[in-house]
Amino acid sequence: MKVKILFGGIYSELAKSDKYDIEISDNIINTEKLLRIIKEKFNIDIKNDVVGGNAIILINGRNIKTAGEVKISDGDFISIIPPIKGG
């Protein structure tokens, strides 16, 4: 299935764009699978950022770190963003 992946902040610079359409074969995904796909397709290793709370992964606006496994469908949005900080 084809999903849209959106990179925010520093991750868009590392990925050389802020959005891509990618093919994912599984319709059930978790954080580990998604991190592996990002590393394979974009050569970006954000595992430490996600584990350390310095990156958030959302599928259709839902944080998958707390959701466990998530069912994805054709056309879903996956967002990889650093936390927003300000003062």
In tens, the pLDDT along 9-61 reads 999 999 999 999 999 988 888 888 989 999 999 999 999 998 888 898 999 98
Question: Which pTM value belongs to this model?
Answer: 0.84
Tell me, what DSSP letter sits at residue 50? H
CA 24 to chain centre: 12
Determine the pLDDT at residue 41.
92
Nearest to 57 by CA among 11, 1, 2: 11
Residue 27 near residue 72, CB atoms below 8 Å: yes
